[in-house]
Amino acid sequence: MGQYAAPIRDMQFVLHEVLNVEAELKYMPKHAELDADTINQVLEEAGKFCSEVVFPLNQSGDREGCTYEGDGVVRTPAGFREAYRQYVEAGWAGLGCDPDYGGQGLPAFVNNALYEMLNSANQAWTMYPGLSHGAYECLHAHGTPEQKSTYLPKLVSGEWTGTMCLTEPHCGTDLGILRTKAEPNGDGSYVLTGTKIFISSGEHDMAQNIVHLVLARLPGTPMGTKGISLFIVPKFLPDAGGAVGARNGIKCGSIEHKMGIHGNATCVMNLDGASGWLVGEENKGLNAMFVMMNAARLGVGMQGLGLTEVAYQNSLVYAKERLQMRSLTGPKAPDKPADPIIVHPDVRRMLLTQKAYAEGGRAFAYWAALNIDKELSHADDAARREAGEYVALLTPVIKAFLTDNAFEGTNLAMQIYGGHGFISEWGMEQYVRDARINMIYEGTNSIQALDLLGRKILGDMGAKLKRFGKLVAEFVEAEGVKPEMQEFINPLADIGEKVQKLTMEIGMKAMQNPDEVGAAAVPYMRCVGHLVFSYFWARMARVALDHAASGDAFYTAKLGTARFYFAKLLPETASAIRAARAGAKPMMDSDEALF
């Protein structure tokens, strides 16, 4: 079955020693009284819940999967419903939610850490509450007072769950061509007709009700994304008292049989005269849904981080125990018939790759969540705007870079296990299968790369990227004169300059040929991802150096991993830059007959 223990020490290192969150919270009035001890207690309790309640269901849930029993009824794997009951009763559903609706009001970075642990423990199970939190965020931002009072307390408590219904059989990310219709009833409600596919958590037996957020077209609206509206379509209509009432006309028609995440129901949802209510303004549904979509993209990044961490933990245990051959420099375990495979250089390369991607991703993701808190709660307007720009710029990087790395990390776990990794008993092949979807949904990683380069960077002439570059430059200037930091600062400064130059080159070429953006976007994404990781690994190295004299093995390991990252992983950017510069010609000038 494998094992999972929440990486509490590293979480605390990132939050308290690298990000200094307690000091940051003093500038956010609603969080100013929160201290490090309270944060640590929450993390520790969350870690226990994840390892003791949710993780044991991961492999069994994958084997059993969800079952479609006909007439819209879906049964989740054994134990899922009971684990969700415990999750709700413990108050985890409302951890980061507004106290006005029953939430605990903790910062986004605490909720983010919870979801890292949940995803390490069981990604398929975590998708049920994860999507619910996205629905909460959307309605909290765009719902009417009546909608908020009806739905938010139930979503915050976890009594009801939520979904996002976007994709249709003929359209995925290109939502401008969706066909689901919404006809006004004349009483403020609408009748919705259409079919949605690939709806995660669309039907299940874990909660009383499911609140679907559905994109649809009103009569006579223009084609394209400007003609899309957003609607609340609950599985059961709330009665006058807000309790579950009559069955609505939205029903699961079937569930998908998938490569991975078997414990989560991926549904075809049929809307047959379903009652719905408009969220936000007519024809501006995509604007409202983007709140949930961006939350989901950050959430998918946490899925990638969670899987990278659990894959590393299991790989490390196996590498220390599995005996295979002798070290090239002589026996390291002479009392045994062979040495443990961790003595071999390439096994260490794989382990350190997993570790560097997990710990670098944790620092990056927690910093992004802290900036969400700043954007929402900081007392200073300029600080809020700056934080919002960081989040907008780097959301696609969190989604794509962390999930690309997770797929590599889980594949490395399977490789470290060798033949045992390929069979289901040890659980590594499940992590590979589960990790693969994260590169596809909520906008494929290619689309995230286009969003980063085309919209977030070239769209504002590089203003947001320059703001992040200034953050990097200030750190380089402060630390670059210190001899002990040269091995980290020099490569950080180098990749910063190269990304700036590459951005200008692509921008100039794109003015002549827009295909240059599409051709360069994916390798460019890898470069920006490494720029961000280089910045955080250099910051973590600074903290570790400050504690080097303590003799604490944690800081020694942190420094060693930082050195590995800069020596062995950052050089990927050389080939990525060369690929990005190669441009569109090798693809777009080819005769179609060659394909």
pLDDT of 177 > 90? The answer is: no
Q: Report the mean per-residue pLDDT for the chain.
A: 95
Q: Within a domain: residue 369?
A: no
490 and 546 share a domain? yes
Nearest by Cα to 15 from 104, 110, 115, 105: 110
Nearest by Cα to 51 from 104, 1, 102: 1
433 touches 259 (CB < 8 A): yes
* pLDDT over 70, % of the chain: 99
- The residue written with tokens 């078997």 in the block is 262
Looking at residue 242, its pLDDT comes to: 87
Amino acid at 73: V
Q: How does pLDDT run across 427-471, given as a tens digit for each residue?
A: 999 999 999 999 999 899 999 999 999 999 999 999 999 999 999
118 and 23 share a domain? yes
Looking at residue 170, its pLDDT comes to: 85
Spatial neighbors of 165 by CB under 8 A, at least 6 apart, are 196, 199, 202, 212, 213, 214, 215, 233, 269
Question: DSSP class of residue 76?
Answer: P
Q: Is 196 exposed, middle or buried (0-12, 13-18, 19+ CB in 10 A)?
A: buried
Q: Within a domain: residue 92?
A: yes
Looking at residue 225, its pLDDT comes to: 79
Q: How does pLDDT run across 184-239, given as a tens digit for each residue?
A: 999 999 999 999 999 999 999 999 999 999 999 999 888 887 889 999 999 999 99
Looking at residue 301, its pLDDT comes to: 97
Q: Within a domain: residue 349?
A: no
Looking at residue 226, its pLDDT comes to: 85
pLDDT of 594 > 70? The answer is: no
pLDDT of 410 > 90? The answer is: yes
More confident residue, 503 or 170: 503
- Residue 593: band (very low, low, confident or very high) from pLDDT cuts 50, 70, 90: low
Domain that holds residue 59: 8-148
43 and 143 share a domain? yes
434 touches 498 (CB < 8 A): no
Question: Would you name the residues annotated as active-site residues?
Answer: 442
195 and 96 share a domain? no
Q: Within a domain: residue 377?
A: no
Spatial neighbors of 485 by CB under 8 A, at least 6 apart, are 479, 538, 541, 542, 545
How, if at all, do strands 189-200 and 209-216 pair? unpaired
Which of 148, 180, 198 is the last residue in one of the domains? 148
Domain count of the fold of the chain: 3
25 and 130 share a domain? yes
Q: Within a domain: residue 399?
A: no
- Residue 592: band (very low, low, confident or very high) from pLDDT cuts 50, 70, 90: low
pTM beyond cutoff 0.95 = yes
Q: How does pLDDT run across 503-542, given as a tens digit for each residue?
A: 999 999 999 999 999 999 999 999 999 999 999 999 999 9
132 and 191 share a domain? no
Q: Within a domain: residue 456?
A: no
Q: Within a domain: residue 510?
A: yes
Which of 291-295, 349-353, 520-524 has the least mean pLDDT? 291-295
Looking at residue 296, its pLDDT comes to: 82
90 and 189 share a domain? no
Looking at residue 70, its pLDDT comes to: 96
What would the mean pLDDT of 7-20 be, rounded to a whole number? 98
Q: Within a domain: residue 473?
A: yes
pLDDT of 569 > 80? The answer is: yes
Which of 148, 178, 206 is the last residue in one of the domains? 148
94 and 185 share a domain? no
Phi and psi at residue 333, to the nearest 5°? -130, 70
CA atoms of 320 and 121, how far apart (whole Å)? 22
- The residue written with tokens 């690994």 in the block is 537
133 touches 295 (CB < 8 A): yes
Tell me the H-state helices in 418-485.
419-422, 428-437, 445-450, 463-479
Which of 11-20, 224-233, 569-578 has the least mean pLDDT? 224-233
- Residue 391: band (very low, low, confident or very high) from pLDDT cuts 50, 70, 90: very high
Nearest by Cα to 570 from 479, 496, 518: 496
223 and 120 share a domain? no
What would the mean pLDDT of 328-337 be, rounded to a whole number? 95
Which of 94, 114, 148 is the last residue in one of the domains? 148
478 and 541 share a domain? yes
Q: What SS3 state is found at 383? A: helix
More confident residue, 24 or 589: 24
- The CATH number linked to 75 is 1.10.540.10
259 and 228 share a domain? yes
| SS3 sequence of 362-381 | HHHHHHHHHHHHHHHHCCCH
107 and 192 share a domain? no
- The CATH number linked to 166 is 2.40.110.20
Amino acid at 1: M
Looking at residue 462, its pLDDT comes to: 93
